[in-house]
């Protein structure tokens, strides 16, 4: 009897470990690559330009084609680089984009929900290209920062699973196809 | 008990939390906007909760299996109840689950009707067709405007587009296109925006209905138009309304260095917008729902499965809990009964309810109390009897019909000289067989016991460690009743050694006195008469007769002397001399004696072993010397037949039955003593030697007993005799007198 219990516990622990590893590897493999980035300062307003390659798997594309809106979060952080300690968070913001198919016009509408601007695209590829082209995105008024030394900007673009319709969420959480995220892209801000 | 209650409360709390969580999850499924964000967390927490419940059930099963294996009381009953409860709960729930799943699938499928789907697709298609007609019409209008602009550009300098591209165009008013004409064209054609753009994306001129910045076409549209293909596109606006974007190439002067196109945006009438919007929303929602159908079914199924697992887990746990609660009093009763079977009457069971089981438990408790009281009374009676028996100077032994010893009081143990106190449970035969000194009883006592006579009596002599004992065994057959089995026997053992010894001593003293009086007195006249006869007639007779007379008279005188010596020895034995005690160094005394014998018997090896630190002995040294002389002389005589005899004398202090003794051992490797003489060797005139009076050992015993000691003699297992003497170690002479 005791042997059976030990065997059951062993199988359970192996399954949990495998599931953790699997989910971890799924999360760790990004499908969004940030190719380049830069910061611009104009009238003390810091804005960023970045180019990213956004690639969606089969399931998200199928969902989009079926009328399910997809949401993307662009996380922007301003950090202070420290020599002997980890970086210190100075500022955090988030831009959310929605991508939806307009069935009647057969167009794809990419909308920045923060700035309330939108672009209409003939294809998913064009829409995703547009999503990856981040231009003059205002981040912060540098007047708010007293010390402008050793500043680092970090950006990360990811598909927001929590914004999916509830029935899709459980499967999306465990499916690697839906874990689409870029690595945190950092660069030093030269002012 | 308290820990168990706390654990039960925690599990109940867990079940309630899980139930709440499941209700929330169900809400999340039905209304995603309200609980959607919580759904994954709820799913996870519910899964973990159910897992915890499963682990608890696993632990319960494991414990139950262990109890079953150990055959613990109530385990089988608990298992049976758990199985019944579980089956009663699981079967209906599983049936409901399977039907629910089926209904769920059918219910979700029923939302999607093929006709509705086709109707929506058709309406969408219809909308598209309608909008396309309109857009084609708008394209024709735009192309007409483009033609008109191209013609005017060729005829009028006012629309010289090339000139407008030059840097000085802004300074030359005649080159500025007539804005009112563009506005007029826009207004006539119902456009929202009209823009004239060059191939390199420069806005040449524009006209907008509102004052907002014109919405410029994308690069792909521009390049498409520059290649001569008109662009027509239906786009949703920021507000959700549809508009048409059209771009048409302008055919300006062929000599012109640049190419131009007209970009126009047309809105749809609000009525069309409202209708198309409705169609769009309805179709999109239906399409999305259709896509989510499988996911929705799966989510509902997952929720339902979780509910099923939760229900089963909760039911099984509740089954365990209820079964344990119900079987607890029965388990206690079984444990109590087992305890009583073991002889533990102190077990009292907790009365937890007022129902029939509670009544049973309280009845059990009162029964055990009564049994315990009765048992205590019996125990007290037994203890009283034991105390009584232990106080008796006579030994008491009780035997069953199979001769198993059930009672053996301390006096019996002492009288029979048993080393191992507890002989209860063994048979009398094994007792006699296992103790060498009781072997003799096997012949004398066992037959009487086996005969089971009503009353009998016998006397036996056993050789105990401190000498021979005369024991009288009186047997009585007990009357059988409920408590006493048939043919049970009680034997009373009495030590009559001292009485018999006293009687013998008195007899021997009387004999000695009479001998001294009746025999010794005539001996002197006999001796004197013989000597006179010899003196008178020895010289007068002839030589032959003289020799005969001399031989005869000498024989008479010698025999008279011998008789006198014998009578004197006897008198000495019979006399009660005054003992003059003083402090004696026992080792020194024995050493002196041995030195004499070593000289007298040079061939013999005599060893002396004396323990260090032996105290002084309070004794009469002359009497003690006589004891050692007799014993060592006996030992040397016994070994004289063997060349180079070996005698070992040991002196030591020992503890025996919580008292300290001097112990003197004299061992020889001589011929030993015949078995038939060993029990009576200390009696007067008992000897295995050809010479001697036969009083040596009797005198030894007498002197030893005068010193409150004991002497024993036994044949060694290999060869020779071992004499053991023990004298009590007494601190002072006064103490000795008190003891005496």
Report residue B46 CA to chain centroid gap: 38
Task: Indicate yes or no: CB of A169 within 8 angstroms of CB of B280.
Answer: no
Place of tokens 């219910």: B107
Which residues of chain B have a CB within 8 Å of the CB of A15?
none
Best of B40, B135, B220 to mutate (most A CBs within 10 Å, chain A): B40
What is the Cα–Cα distance from B635 to B651, expressed in whole angstroms?
17
Task: Indicate yes or no: CB of B40 within 8 angstroms of CB of A170.
Answer: yes
Give residue B368's pLDDT. 87
Chain A within 8 Å of B274 (Cβ-Cβ)? no
Chain A within 8 Å of B135 (Cβ-Cβ)? no
The share of chain B scoring above pLDDT 90, in percent, equals: 3
Chain A within 8 Å of B130 (Cβ-Cβ)? no
Chains A, B: CB pairs < 8 Å: 91
Residue A181 φ then ψ, to 5°: -155, 150
Beta carbons of A174 and A161 less than 8 angstroms apart: no
User: CA of A4: which chain B residue's CA is closest?
Assistant: B62
Task: Indicate yes or no: CB of A166 within 8 angstroms of CB of B302.
Answer: no
User: CA of A160: which chain B residue's CA is closest?
Assistant: B37
Separation in Å, CA B398 to CA B387, B407, B621: 16, 5, 47
Which residues of chain B have a CB within 8 Å of the CB of A168?
292, 295
What is the Cα–Cα distance from A91 to A189, expressed in whole angstroms?
14
For chain B positions 642-701, those within 8 Å of chain A (CB to CB) are none
Give residue A100's pLDDT. 92
Task: Indicate yes or no: CB of A104 within 8 angstroms of CB of B124.
Answer: yes
Distance from CA of B299 to the nearest CA of A (A): 6
Give residue A97's pLDDT. 95
User: CA of A130: which chain B residue's CA is closest?
Assistant: B218
Give the strands of the sheet with B489-495, arranged side by side. Answer: B405-408, B395-399, B489-495, B467-477, B455-464
What is the Cα–Cα distance from B201 to B263, expressed in whole angstroms?
11
Nearest to B292 among A118, A165, A170 (CB): A165
Nearest to A67 among B62, B284, B296 (CB): B284
- The stretches in chain B having pLDDT less than 50 are 157-158, 167-176, 736-740
Closest CA to B723 of B632, B617, B652, B657: B632
B119: left (phi over 0), alpha (psi -120 to 50) or beta: alpha
Q: pTM value?
A: 0.51
Give residue A64's pLDDT. 92
Contacts of B467 (CB under 8 A, 6+ apart): B497, B682, B701, B710, B711, B712
Which residues of chain B have a CB within 8 Å of the CB of A68?
288, 291-292
ipTM of the modeled complex: 0.70
Task: Indicate yes or no: CB of A169 within 8 angstroms of CB of B36.
Answer: yes
Which residues of chain B have a CB within 8 Å of the CB of A173?
40
Chain A within 8 Å of B278 (Cβ-Cβ)? no
Which residues of chain A have a CB within 8 Å of the CB of B35?
166
Torsion B315-B320-B321-B326 (CA) sign = positive
Which residues of chain A have a CB within 8 Å of the CB of B299?
166-167, 170
Which residues of chain B have a CB within 8 Å of the CB of A20?
none
Task: Indicate yes or no: CB of A107 within 8 angstroms of CB of B58.
Answer: no
Closest CA to B562 of B573, B552, B551, B554: B554
Contacts of B368 (CB under 8 A, 6+ apart): B336, B340, B345, B346, B347, B348
Task: Indicate yes or no: CB of B295 within 8 angstroms of CB of A118.
Answer: no
Separation in Å, CA B141 to CA B116, B185, B245, B266, B405: 37, 10, 13, 11, 134
Chain A within 8 Å of B116 (Cβ-Cβ)? no
Best of B27, B47, B48, B284 to mutate (most A CBs within 10 Å, chain A): B284
Best of A127, A164, A167 to mutate (most B CBs within 10 Å, chain B): A167
Q: Show pLDDT as tens, one digit a residue, over chain A (191 residues).
A: 444 544 554 455 445 544 544 444 444 444 899 999 998 888 888 899 999 999 999 999 999 998 899 999 999 999 988 877 888 888 899 999 999 998 888 889 999 998 888 888 889 999 999 999 998 888 888 887 777 788 899 999 999 988 888 778 878 888 889 999 999 999 988 76
Which residues of chain B have a CB within 8 Å of the CB of A11?
none
Beta carbons of B727 and B660 less than 8 angstroms apart: no
Which residues of chain A have a CB within 8 Å of the CB of B67?
none
3-state secondary structure B155-210: HCHHHCHHHHHCHHHHHCHHHCCCHHHHHHHHHHHCCCEEEEEECCCCEEEEEECC
């Amino acid at each position: 009897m005791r042997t059976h219990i030990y065997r059951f516990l062993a199988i359970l622990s192996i399954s949990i470990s495998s599931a953790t590893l699997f989910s971890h590897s799924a999360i760790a493999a990004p499908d969004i690559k940030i190719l380049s980035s830069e910061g611009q300062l104009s009238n003390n307003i810091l804005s960023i330009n970045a180019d990213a390659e956004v690639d969606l798997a089969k399931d998200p594309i199928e969902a989009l084609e079926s009328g399910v809106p997809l949401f993307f979060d662009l996380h922007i952080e301003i950090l202070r680089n420290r020599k002997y300690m980890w970086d210190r968070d100075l500022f955090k913001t988030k831009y959310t984009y929605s991508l939806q198919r307009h069935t009647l016009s057969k167009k794809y509408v990419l909308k920045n929900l923060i700035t309330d601007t939108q672009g209409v695209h003939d294809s998913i590829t064009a829409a995703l290209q547009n999503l990856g082209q981040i231009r003059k995105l205002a981040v912060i008024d540098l007047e708010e920062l007293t010390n402008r030394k050793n500043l680092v900007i970090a950006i990360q673009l990811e598909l927001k699973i929590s914004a999916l319709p509830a029935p899709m969420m459980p499967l999306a959480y465990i499916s690697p196809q839906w874990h689409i995220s870029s690595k945190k892209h950092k660069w030093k801000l030269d002012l | 008990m308290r820990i168990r209650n706390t654990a039960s409360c925690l599990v109940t709390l867990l079940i309630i939390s899980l139930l709440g969580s499941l209700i929330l999850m169900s809400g999340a499924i039905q209304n995603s906007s309200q609980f959607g964000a919580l759904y994954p967390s709820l799913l996870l927490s519910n899964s973990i909760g159910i897992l915890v419940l499963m682990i608890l059930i696993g632990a319960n099963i494991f414990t139950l299996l262990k109890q079953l294996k150990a055959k613990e009381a109530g385990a089988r009953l608990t298992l049976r109840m758990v199985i019944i409860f579980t089956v009663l709960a699981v079967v209906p729930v599983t049936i409901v689950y399977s039907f629910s799943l089926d209904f769920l699938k059918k219910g979700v499928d029923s939302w999607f009707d093929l006709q509705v789907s086709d109707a929506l697709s058709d309406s969408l298609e219809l909308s598209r067709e309608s909008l396309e007609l309109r857009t084609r019409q708008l394209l024709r209008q735009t192309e007409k405007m483009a033609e008109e602009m191209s013609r005017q550009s060729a005829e009028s300098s006012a629309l010289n587009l090339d000139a407008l591209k030059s840097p000085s165009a802004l300074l030359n008013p005649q080159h500025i296109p007539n804005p009112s004409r563009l506005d007029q064209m826009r207004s006539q054609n119902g456009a929202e925006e009209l823009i004239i753009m060059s191939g390199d994306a420069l806005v040449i001129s524009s006209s907008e209905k509102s004052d907002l910045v014109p919405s410029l076409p994308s690069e792909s549209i521009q390049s498409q138009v520059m290649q001569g293909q008109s662009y027509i596109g239906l786009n949703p606006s920021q507000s959700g309304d549809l508009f048409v974007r059209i771009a048409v190439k302008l055919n300006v002067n062929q000599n012109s260095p640049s190419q131009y196109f007209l970009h126009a945006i047309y809105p749809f009438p609000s009525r069309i917008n409202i209708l198309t919007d409705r169609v769009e929303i309805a179709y999109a929602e239906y399409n999305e729902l259709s896509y989510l159908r499988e996911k929705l079914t799966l989510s509902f199924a997952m929720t339902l499965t979780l509910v099923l697992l939760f229900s089963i887990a909760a039911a099984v746990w509740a089954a365990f809990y209820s079964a344990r609660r119900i079987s607890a009093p029965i388990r206690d009763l079984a444990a109590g009964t087992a305890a009583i079977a073991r002889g533990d009457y102190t077990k009292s069971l907790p009365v937890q309810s007022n129902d029939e089981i509670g009544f049973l438990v309280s009845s059990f408790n009162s029964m055990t109390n009564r049994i315990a009281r009765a048992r205590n009374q019996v125990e007290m009676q037994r203890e009283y009897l034991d105390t009584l028996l232990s106080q008796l100077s006579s030994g008491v032994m009780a035997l069953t019909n199979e001769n198993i010893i059930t009672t053996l009081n301390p006096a019996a143990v002492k009288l029979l000289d048993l080393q191992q106190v507890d002989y209860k449970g063994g048979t009398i035969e094994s007792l006699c067989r296992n103790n060498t000194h009781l072997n003799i009883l096997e012949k004398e006592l066992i037959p009487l016991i086996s005969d089971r006579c009503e009353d009998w009596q016998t006397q036996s002599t056993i050789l105990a460690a401190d000498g021979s004992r005369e024991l009288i065994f009186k047997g009585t057959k007990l009357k059988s009743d409920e408590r006493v089995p048939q043919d049970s026997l009680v034997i009373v053992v009495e030590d009559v050694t001292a009485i018999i010894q006293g009687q013998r001593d008195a007899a021997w003293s009387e004999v000695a006195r009479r001998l001294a009086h009746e025999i010794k007195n005539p001996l002197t006249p006999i001796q004197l008469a013989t000597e006179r006869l010899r003196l008178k007639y020895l010289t007068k007779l002839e030589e032959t007769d003289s020799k005969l007379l001399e031989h005869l008279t000498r024989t008479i005188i010698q025999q008279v002397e011998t008789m006198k010596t014998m009578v004197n020895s006897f008198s000495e034995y019979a006399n009660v001399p005054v003992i003059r005690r003083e402090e004696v160094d026992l080792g020194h005394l024995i050493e002196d004696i041995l030195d004499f014998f070593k000289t007298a018997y040079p061939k013999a090896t005599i060893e002396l072993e004396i323990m260090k630190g032996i105290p002084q002995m309070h004794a009469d040294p002359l009497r003690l010397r006589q004891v050692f002389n007799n014993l060592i002389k006996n030992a040397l005589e016994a070994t004289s037949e063997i060349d180079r005899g070996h005698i070992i004398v040991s002196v030591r202090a020992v503890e025996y039955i919580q008292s300290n003794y001097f112990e003197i051992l004299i061992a020889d490797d001589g011929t030993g003593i015949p078995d038939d003489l060993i029990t009576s060797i200390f009696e007067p005139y008992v000897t295995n030697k050809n010479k001697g009076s036969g009083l040596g050992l009797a005198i030894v015993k007498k002197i030893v007993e005068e010193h409150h000691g004991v002497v024993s003699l036994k044949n060694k297992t290999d060869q020779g005799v071992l004499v053991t003497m023990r004298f009590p170690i007494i601190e002072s002479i006064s103490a000795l007198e008190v003891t005496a």
